[in-house]
């Protein structure tokens, strides 16, 4: 399968392994990953956040109840909320998730937003697990044009750059991180590593974080779609 699909399958495998109930996808794009995750029986809350989020149309929208949900009734209800907002803005409705995914998001953040990102996602949202994927620039010479893969990318990191950033973030917010990736290099070019590099961060304390009473509710994101099935 193409690399973008391999990224989604990487997340699906993690959800299968861990049985996450509440999942948020930051920078959900065309919502393909959310759409794939809604068929997992363990999932009860799916949230998408994107600065360019558009409302889903019932009927035409991919997230509306699938035929499958009528044929095989779900044991648990599923709620899907799509928000328009930025991954570097705090919104208390994103706190306390089992998993937050950021698939090909961070390379779109300018240096100011990238600096805010760890405090918001790890410090404030503080989910049990975070998955971050980003291009591995060491793979780029294998592409015909060796510039950035997308004109909107603000940076593309090699493995060392990503791992140093990720290890710093993990240490600061008490997570452990494991590195992986998808998109195998062709034979003879194994030294460049995966096309997409992925960090899987797991929170060290097993204690579920609850919003403390003193912490005020902050609703900054705009709801663009709310679906329930």
Which positions lie near ligand SAM, rule CB under 6 A?
Answer: 4, 26-29, 32, 49-52, 86-88, 103-105, 108-109, 113
Closer by beta carbon to ligand SAM, 3 or else 188: 3
Q: How far apart are CA 202 and CA 180, in angstroms?
A: 14
Closer by beta carbon to ligand SAM, 152 or else 190: 152
Closer by beta carbon to ligand SAM, 14 or else 51: 51
Residue 33 to residues 57, 112, 223, Cα–Cα distance (Å): 18, 27, 19
Q: Which residues contact 166 (CB under 8 A, 6 or more apart)?
A: 132, 177, 179, 199, 201
Task: Considering only the C-alpha atoms of the chain, give the largest distance between any 2 of them, rounded to a whole number of Å.
Answer: 57
| Shortest distance (Å) from residue 147 CB to ligand SAM | 16
Q: Which residues contact 152 (CB under 8 A, 6 or more apart)?
A: 108
Closer by beta carbon to ligand SAM, 52 or else 71: 52
Closer by beta carbon to ligand SAM, 131 or else 170: 131
| Shortest distance (Å) from residue 127 CB to ligand SAM | 16
Residue showing the smallest CB distance to ligand SAM in the complex: 29
Query: Are the beta carbons of 100 and 125 closer than 8 angstroms?
Result: yes
| Shortest distance (Å) from residue 138 CB to ligand SAM | 19
Q: Which residues in 140-151 are b (16+ Cβ under 10 Å) and which e?
A: beeeeeeeebee
Closer by beta carbon to ligand SAM, 15 or else 26: 26
Count other Cβ atoms within 10 Å, centred on residue 12.
15
Q: How far apart are CA 193 and CA 33, in angstroms?
A: 24
| Shortest distance (Å) from residue 71 CB to ligand SAM | 27
Strand order in the sheet with 79-84: 175-182, 196-203, 129-135, 99-103, 22-26, 45-50, 79-84, 222-228
| Shortest distance (Å) from residue 75 CB to ligand SAM | 28
| Shortest distance (Å) from residue 30 CB to ligand SAM | 6
């Amino acid at each position: 399968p193409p690399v973008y699909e391999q990224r989604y399958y990487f997340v699906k495998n993690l959800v299968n392994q861990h049985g996450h109930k509440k999942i948020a996808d930051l920078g959900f794009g065309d919502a393909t990953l959310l759409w794939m995750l809604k068929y997992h029986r363990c999932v009860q809350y799916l949230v998408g956040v994107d600065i360019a989020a558009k409302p889903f149309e019932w009927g035409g929208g991919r997230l509306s109840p699938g035929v499958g949900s009528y044929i095989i009734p779900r044991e648990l209800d599923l709620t899907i909320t799509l928000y328009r907002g930025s991954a570097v803005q705090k919104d208390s409705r994103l706190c306390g998730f089992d998993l937050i995914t950021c698939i090909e998001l961070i390379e779109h953040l300018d240096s100011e937003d990238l600096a805010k990102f760890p405090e918001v996602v790890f410090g404030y949202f503080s989910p049990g697990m975070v998955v971050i994927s980003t291009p591995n620039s060491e793979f780029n010479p294998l592409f015909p044009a060796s510039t950035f893969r997308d004109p909107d990318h603000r940076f593309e990191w090699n493995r060392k750059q990503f791992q140093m950033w990720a290890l710093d973030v993990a240490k600061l917010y008490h997570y452990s991180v494991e590195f992986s990736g998808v998109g195998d290099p062709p034979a003879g070019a194994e030294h460049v590593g995966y096309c997409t590099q992925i960090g899987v961060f797991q929170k060290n304390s097993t204690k579920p974080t609850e919003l403390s009473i003193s912490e005020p509710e902050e609703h900054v994101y705009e709801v663009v779609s709310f679906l329930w099935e």
